[in-house]
Amino acid sequence: MAGEPAETDDAQVIPITRARSPHGSPPSDHEPPSEPPPSERGAAPDEDGDRDLDRDLDRGLAEMLAFLRRRITGEYEVDEFGFDPELTDKVLLELIRPLYRHWFRVETVGMHNVPGDSGALVVANHSGTLPLDGLMLQVALHDDHPERRAVRLLGADLVYQLPLLGHLSRKTGHTLACRDDADRLLRKGELVGVFPEGFKGVGKPFSERYKLQRFGRGGFVASAIRAGVPIVPCSIVGAEEIYPKVGDLRFLARALGLPYLPITPLFPLLGPLGLVPLPSKWMIGFGEPIRTDQFDPADADDPMLVFNLTDQVREVIQQQLNELRLQRGHAFPPFF
């Protein structure tokens, strides 16, 4: 056939691989296979890593520019309380996530007890001299809950009397601890957080660590009953050790209008350096919800019912605290 090579009688078949010698070594005239050209070789692991890093940087830059564009043009949502979900997630929570993940190494327990798509009242113990427990609770529910829930913390009057702190609190979804705001949020199906101990809990001395203070008149229980939402007991272990309070500058605190001015082993001895929290190991546990939907909304005005339910919530949180402390072990485990 035209174009095909002519057949010859002395043609030989050349094997793809030469036979090996009995000792397993190739014959002396064997030539090592040549290295494939770079175009046929796979990319080196370092090159793959560099490309992935470049893609991540490009993606991060694009997201940042898009975020800035939305802030400039006003294309973002804020609810009636001032809550800005995008600013909270992309900026404010991002600033404290390193504390949550790497400094305090927070673990959560019982997250399945927190509803995913309905209103609930999360009631937690309060401690730590500075209220970092509220921030860590916020990151836990946003990052570790399957539905990435935003908790709307109810704060004391002092928080909203400070211009910058009050503004940031509103932006991150928090509001004043008052009946009207709590009822409106719960009826909207929001996850509301409250620390009934208030300043009595966050400012108690280190010698009283993990001992719950009085829970007040139980206003949070009345709000839950009116809205018919469950109460989720929450116990936070680890905050007690970040600023061990061994004393109080009461006269100076009174002059500054503060509930207390703590003395710790590092503050004010080391000045601003003493404000760095100690890297204690944290655990946040969520207990089984306590139902309130079996009550009539009018039962919220029954002081005995409210008192008994408040006492029940307090006992559950205290028991959880004791169990979590045993589960955590030492407050400052070795770093690996």
Q: Has this prediction a pTM greater than 0.95?
A: no
Q: What is the pLDDT of residue 43?
A: 52
Determine the average pLDDT of the residues in 127-142: 96
Cβ-Cβ contacts under 8 Å for 212 (sequence gap 6 or more): 125, 197, 201, 314, 317, 318, 321
pLDDT greater at residue 82 or residue 59: 82
CA distance 248 to 220: 29
Kindly tell me if the per-residue pLDDT of 24 is higher than 60: no
Do the strands 262-263 and 247-248 form a parallel or antiparallel pair, or are they unpaired? antiparallel
Residue 44: pLDDT band (50, 70, 90) is low
Residue whose tokens read 């070594």: 25
Q: What is the pLDDT of residue 52?
A: 73
β partners of residue 247: 263
CA distance 102 to 100: 6
Q: What is the DSSP string of 223-273?
A: HHHHHT--EEEEEEESGGGTS---EE-HHHHHHHT-S--EE-SSTTTTGGG
List, for residues 229-242, the tens digit of each pLDDT value.
999 999 999 999 99
pLDDT greater at residue 58 or residue 165: 165
DSSP annotation of 34: P
Kindly tell me if the per-residue pLDDT of 28 is higher than 70: no
pLDDT greater at residue 285 or residue 159: 285
Contact assessment for residue 192 and residue 182, using Cβ atoms and an 8 Å cutoff: yes
Q: What is the pLDDT of residue 41?
A: 53
Question: Which amino acid, one-letter code, is at 239?
Answer: A
Q: What is the pLDDT of residue 46?
A: 63
